[in-house]
Structure 1
Amino acid sequence: MSVFYRSNNRDFTLAKGNCVEVLSQFEFQFDMIFADPPYFLSNNGISVQNGKQVSVNKGNWDRSNGFEQDNNFNYEWIKACRSKLKDNGTIWISGTYHNIFSVAQMLKELNFRILNCVTWAKTNPPPNLSCKFFTHSTEFILWARKSQKVSHYFNYDLMKEINGGSQMRDLWVLPAIAKWEKTCGKHPTQKTLPLLSRIIMASTKEHAWILDPFAGSSTTGIAASLLNRRFLGIEQEINFLKLSKQRREEIENNKIRNDYLNKICKYSDKPISNILELNFNSPKSYYGKDLPF
């Protein structure tokens, strides 16, 4: 296994390689997994970015290889992740209609229990250029637990508090990626920190271990570090690994770290910092169980 980077306090590790191959090389189980796999939507279409027409093609990794191969791909990586998830652990998987139905079917075949299908309604979606159908403004995030019988962790009280005292629903109105999240560079499918922070706070305790098998620019890992969790990201592309490293080193700067936390807290009806007693000054050092490499 190739460890590309590890932060000084060991809360953030990046491994280079194919996630199925990397996960087969060590024994360790995580509290939570977030996965943003290929959506299979690189079909030579056109979208809008910063007011300009751009191709929707992300790369060969995002192209569909047909029904059977796409399903087999989802089955294999989810199976690999299942063996690295604690019995009371949960997995979150994002997607659109291009891939999410396949993901749901593979979760069922691998005996996960699907808990929710969260709809992320973006406050700033790109316009529909063709004007022949509705504007795409949502993504879906499946939340599932490993065991049918072993209960999972859910911070119900916190989710209720940051939702103004009402039960949080499975419709989340949050922005798409913002300029302040791209200071180190861009990733074509980068998720937003407010979204990942909510997911992490909902389903883990502080110091939990979180895995992202398709790390990309490691928004999962940045959110984990900001919220005092620990993270392993797996990524094949060297440029994305370099971007992830830059982003993690960026939040060693206390001013930037503090700024990011305040921006995350903005999307709560109650200051998250008051609830979690977050450390706004510097990343914590960790003790206890560590990755076996």
Structure 2
Amino acid sequence: MKCYFKKNTEFYYEDRDLALLNGDCLKLLSKIKEGTIDCIFADPPYFLSNNGISVSGGKQVSVNKGHWDMGYDLQQKHKFNRKWIRMCKKALKDDGTIWISGTMHNIYSVGMALEQEGFKIINNITWEKLNPPPNLACRCFTHSTETILWAKKDLKKNHHYYNYKLMKELNGGKQMKDVWRGPLTPKKEKSEGRHPTQKPEYLLEKILLASTNERDICLDPFCGSGTTGVLARRLNRQFIGIDIEKDYLDITIKRMNKEQMTLWH
């Protein structure tokens, strides 16, 4: 994995097809050699930690995710989005693609930042959650969707990879639409530890199957508990993950090791 990084890069964990870096992605993305990454999945902070309440498992819980999710106003948030997207563009191959998930609280800034930084949006995926938490205030509709933007570099001769045949096959012989339905992350996928915005495995499986080939190198700059990495390993892809929290990287390592044991058996 060291061949993808500049000299003197410090790894939190590394093996033949996995590299984890601990720290601020705005600093660590510059450690990756330019034009080496095939696919990026990013689930950036939504900056929603405002001491409010939500529902999880039928109980009222705080919406606060952590210090990494607090304190940005609109201008700061957009500046942050432009900067990390710009750095991802440098790391991405010219025919590579980037997927970014978010809710209404951040995705519109992300979409504008993508275009400002020289990307062309391929698809606007709507992920419909079949079991969303109820709306406690009862003053608006229940929030049951997230958006996932899929984009490529806006170059004249830029042919991105899309496994159309497989996606059609997985959709019963019909063209797959841009609305994906499924449940929230089940408890069994959180057995090694919890992350407040952990995405379900089926979502990342579909993303990686649609836009990568075996042995491609996938990057997640907001790695969290490592769902992107777990599916990369399961599907025989290579993976680079960055996260500011060591505890979440430790969960990623546990999940990756568990996945490797499953593959061996």
TM-score (norm 2): 0.93
CA contact (8 A) 2:32 2:91 kept: no
Residue in 1 that maps onto 2:6: none
Percent identical: 53
**Residue 91 of structure 2, aligned match among 84, 87, 101:** 84
Q: CA RMSD in A?
A: 1.2
**Residue 21 of structure 2, aligned match among 4, 15, 23:** 15
1:245 alignment partner, SS class: helix
Aligned equivalents of 2:136 and 2:113: distance in 1? 33
Residue in 1 that maps onto 2:258: 250
Q: Is 2:175 the partner of 1:180?
A: no
CA contact (8 A) 2:11 2:20 kept: yes
Residue in 2 that maps onto 1:140: 147
Residue in 1 that maps onto 2:165: 157
Aligned equivalents of 1:113 and 1:40: distance in 2? 25
Aligned equivalents of 2:155 and 2:141: distance in 1? 37
**Residue 196 of structure 1, aligned match among 204, 207, 211:** 204
Q: Deviations over 1:162-191 (max 9, x none)?
A: 001110010000111101101101011111
For structure 2, the 5+ residue unaligned runs are 1-8
For structure 1, the 5+ residue unaligned runs are 258-280, 283-293
Superposed structure 1 runs of 4+ greater than 2 Å apart: none
**Residue 66 of structure 1, aligned match among 39, 62, 73:** 73
CA contact (8 A) 2:232 2:238 kept: yes
Aligned equivalents of 2:111 and 2:71: distance in 1? 17
Q: Which moved more, 1:185-194 or 1:42-51?
A: 42-51
Aligned equivalents of 1:145 and 1:26: distance in 2? 19
2:254 alignment partner, SS class: helix
Aligned equivalents of 2:102 and 2:231: distance in 1? 19
CA contact (8 A) 1:210 1:224 kept: yes
Aligned equivalents of 1:84 and 1:147: distance in 2? 15
Q: Which amino acid aligns with 1:217?
A: S
Q: Which amino acid aligns with 1:78?
A: I
* Deviation at residue 43 of structure 1 after TM alignment: 2.0
Residue in 1 that maps onto 2:106: 99
Q: Is 2:246 the partner of 1:238?
A: yes
